[in-house]
Homo-oligomer: A and B are copies of this chain.
Amino acid sequence: MAHPLDDFYAVIPAGGVGSRLWPLSRADAPKFLHDLTGSGQTLLRDTWDRLAPLSGEHRIAVVTGRAHRAAVERELPDIADRNVFLESEPRDSAAAIGLAAAILVAREPDVIIGSFAADHVIRGTRTFEFAVQQAVEVARAGYICTIGIQPTEASVGFGYIKKSGELDVDGAPEAATVERFVEKPDLETARSYFADRSYLWNAGMFISRADVLLDELARNQPELHAGLIELAEAWDDRERRGPAVDRVWPRLTKIAIDYAVAEPAAERGRLAVIPGHFDWDDVGDFASLAKLNSHGRNELAILGQNARVLSDASSGILVSQTSRVISLIGVQDIVVVDTEDALLVTTSEHAQRVKGVVDALKLTGRGDVL
């Protein structure tokens, strides 16, 4: 990018532990604070680096929990203090993104915000930038715009966005309206979606004028909207922010932005989509982490700078966070995650069940390793 987009502000919601990546991801070391690609830096930092050319470094806001403030500032030393929005406790994505929208619109009425998860992996910078540029054009035209990923397989791990007609917006040749959102499908349905090119993966990227997004939220979640406006009015006043947070935060509705904003907007024909042709993954579980890090089938992917591994006829993924010697012999599609206080052994096939273990650990009083 030669120049950032003048009216664009990037928002990075950095919440979500990533339970299905336990014991790598923890409450105190969530997914976005890990290097899951071997890039040498965290997913959060990757996200920042991807957005900075679009918005400029001084126009990236991060919404995160108080517990992660220090880690976020360590990863992003150039972030302005006023661009770190701290949640006193998690209230799901509508509250996180809505808060950012409300604060930013109070500072800059015509601002366009784009929200991008802190813990997704994207490859293909120019294609990504082209998609965001188009989405910003569509947002300027008054739509809420999402970027839907053009599927590369019949995945059952993602929700889908059904495109309908083309949308005529200058500078956005690929824009279309969204007919509807669909939840994660079964395999047969996923295959039919994959064959029908009008279904895209829902990557949770939303680009919109902040005021348009807030209007949509007011329409569907008036109480949540009122709370966020109350917070935003007090936010930039050091004396008023604390009391406002104490007063408002506990009663903010917990709801995903998809339900509170995107789906209702789609029903009213106000949601647009730009197809994203770049590689994207939400790294939802170890199966996807394995796929992301392996260079071929029947290979063992290894994550961990100091891994001491001796592998014989094994494939899958090994995550090493200790200095122990690890030997894998004759295990296929294995998932081994070796940390100081917890060890996980499973297979790609069962990667989705890791969340159940986390729930069981909570119930059985072993929350010390979560």
Contact = CB atoms under 8 A, between A and B. Distances in A.
B329 A360 contact: no
A120 B357 CA distance: 37
Residue with the greatest number of chain B CB neighbours at <10 A, chosen from A327, A336, A349, A366: A327
Contact of A350 (B329, B343, B346, B347): B329
A325 B326 CA distance: 17
Given A312-B353, A312-B357, A343 B330 contact: no
A113 to B, nearest CB: 39
Contact of A343 (B327, B334, B360): B327
A192 B147 CA distance: 68
Contacts of A308: 366
Contacts of A330: 346-347, 349-350, 353
Contact of A325 (B338, B343, B347, B349): B343
A346 B331 contact: yes
Contacts of A346: 327-331
Contacts of A324: 339-343, 369
A345 interface: yes
Nearest to A336: B345
A67 interface: no
Contacts of A343: 324-327, 336, 338, 343
Nearest to A335: B329
Nearest to A339: B324
Interface string A54-82: 00000000000000000000000000000
Nearest to A368: B325
A338 B345 CA distance: 11
A37 B364 CA distance: 27
A310 interface: yes
A312 B361 CA distance: 12
Given A308-B366, A325-B369, A369-B325, A331 B345 contact: yes
A22 to B, nearest CB: 8
A354 interface: yes
Nearest to A353: B329
Nearest to A348: B330
A354 B338 contact: no
Contacts of A334: 331, 345
A356 interface: yes
A243 to B, nearest CB: 41
B361 A345 contact: no
A327 B312 contact: no
Nearest to A342: B325
A361 B309 CA distance: 10
A212 interface: no
Nearest to A364: B310
Interface in A245-289: none
Given A327-B345, A329-B350, 6 more contacts: A310-B361, A323-B341, A324-B369, A327-B342, A329-B345, A330-B353
11 contacts: A324-B342, A325-B342, A325-B343, A325-B366, A326-B345, A328-B344, A329-B344, A329-B347, A331-B345, A331-B346, A343-B343
